[in-house]
């Protein structure tokens, strides 16, 4: 029995489904970048002069903040570029790549802090608590200002979230540097400096792990949490009139907030195909926030061949890999077309 497909594509403007990034948001990102980058230089010099690992670590983290903000700004700029013949979705995924890079930079800075802290435990240096306290306090207020700016802009893009995580981690770093400066000033106990640096690094490591996982999930074409394929298939069969079965469902994200889906729908006998497709498209958009869907009509009475991307037994995979002509006694079923007309067949096979 032949399975053929009638494809119906449902298109939406990606800017209406992906989180909107306006000029005001971009300006806030750019201002935040210059604030962070400028004070990063101050902290690096201050940490070197005062001998504080906490300040140097915080300066290194502020460098990753600046990189995160710079990449976020670049991602917003590139994301507005129109799609072309080679990049049919434009540059929307650039921001996800930027988020992935941000996570890797966080891992790198945490490793450096661990190594430096170990060396300082073995050979504690002299730390000038006065300059350390002043610089750490200024750094804390700069990060508070940047966090305020970022949370007033768009927070839904992957690398904006990454930049916020960077700044929150940096706030903790500044707070730890202030505490270390106070302890050293009143007690002279310098090991507090690398101890608090390690504590902050563990918090940053946790944030980096989450950011890495979120970015990789999108890059690996993972389905959004609110639109798992099995949930979609169950919902469409249970709630959409004229849908008898749904199979071969694939859902993925191009970027934050912009989901796509493809699937095969087997309509009920006599159902109006165009109406069924419109109902499915509407349900995908309103129930699962899927802004672009491609619906293939399954004209067969069965669900057709198993999806080649699903896990199958070895023997079934081997059958799936055979040419279609060999399976149908020499007939190439890929060239068979369904009956023309607005409704599904109700007793006869398409010819």
149, 230: one domain: no
pLDDT-derived band of residue 290, with 50, 70 and 90 as boundaries?
A: very high
- CA 167 vs CA 60, 116, 179, 207: distances in Å: 12, 22, 18, 11
Residue 246, SS3?
strand
Structure tokens at 294: 């491609």
198 and 51 fall within a common domain: yes
User: Which range, of 40-49, 88-97, 161-170, 322-331, averages the lowest pLDDT?
Assistant: 322-331
Residues in the chain, overall count: 351
> Does one domain contain both 239 and 174?
no
Mean pLDDT lowest among 11-25, 123-137, 157-171, 192-206: 11-25
Q: 75: phi > 0 → left, psi -120 to 50 → alpha, else beta; which?
A: alpha
Is residue 38 a part of any domain in this protein? Answer: yes
Please give the backbone phi and psi of residue 129, each rounded to the nearest 5 degrees, phi first: -65, -35
Does 168 lie in the same domain as 146? yes
Report the pLDDT value the prediction gives residue 157, as an integer from 0 to 100.
59
My answer on whether 188 and 238 are in the same domain is no
Count how many domains the chain has.
Answer: 2
Distances in Å between the Cα of 43 and the Cα atoms of 52, 65, 149, 197, 265 are 10, 13, 21, 15, 60
Residue 105 burial (10 A CB sphere; 0-12, 13-18, 19+)? buried
DSSP 89: T
**CATH assignment of the domain containing 240:** 3.30.70.1350
Q: pTM score, two decimals?
A: 0.66
Weakest mean pLDDT among 43-52, 109-118, 301-310, 316-325: 316-325
Domain span at residue 116 reads: 19-219
Measure the CA–CA gap between 213 and 219, rounded to whole angstroms: 10
């Amino acid at each position: 029995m032949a399975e053929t497909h009638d494809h119906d594509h449902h298109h939406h403007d990606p800017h209406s489904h992906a989180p909107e990034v306006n000029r005001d948001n971009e300006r806030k990102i750019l201002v935040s970048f210059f604030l962070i980058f400028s004070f990063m230089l101050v902290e690096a010099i201050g940490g070197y002069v005062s001998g504080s690992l906490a300040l140097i670590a915080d300066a290194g983290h502020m460098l990753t903040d600046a990189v995160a903000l710079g990449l976020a700004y670049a991602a917003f700029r590139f994301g507005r570029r129109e799609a072309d013949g080679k990049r049919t979705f434009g540059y929307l995924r650039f921001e996800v790549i930027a988020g992935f890079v941000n996570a890797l930079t966080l891992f790198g800075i945490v490793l450096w802090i661990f190594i430096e802290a170990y060396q300082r435990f073995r050979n504690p240096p002299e730390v000038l608590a006065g300059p350390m306290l002043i610089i750490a306090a200024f750094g804390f207020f700069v990060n508070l200002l940047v966090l305020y700016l970022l949370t007033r802009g768009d927070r839904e893009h992957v690398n904006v979230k990454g930049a916020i995580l960077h700044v929150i981690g940096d706030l903790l770093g500044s707070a730890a540097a202030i505490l270390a400066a106070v302890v050293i000033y009143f007690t002279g106990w310098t090991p507090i400096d690398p101890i608090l640096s390690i504590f902050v690094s563990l918090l940053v490591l946790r944030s980096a792990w989450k950011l890495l996982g979120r970015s990789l999930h999108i890059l690996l074409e993972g389905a959004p949490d609110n639109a798992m394929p099995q949930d979609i298939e169950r919902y469409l069969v249970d709630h959409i009139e004229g849908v008898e079965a749904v199979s071969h469902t694939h859902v993925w994200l191009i970027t934050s907030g912009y989901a796509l889906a493809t699937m095969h729908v087997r309509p009920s006998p006599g159902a109006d195909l165009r109406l069924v497709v419109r109902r499915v498209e509407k349900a995908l958009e309103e129930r699962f926030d899927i802004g672009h869907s491609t619906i293939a009509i399954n004209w067969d009475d069965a669900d057709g061949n198993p999806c080649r991307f699903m896990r199958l037994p070895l023997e079934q995979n081997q059958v799936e890999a055979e040419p279609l002509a060999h399976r149908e006694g020499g007939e190439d079923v890929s060239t068979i077309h369904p009956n023309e007309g607005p409704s599904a067949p109700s007793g006869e096979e398409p010819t």
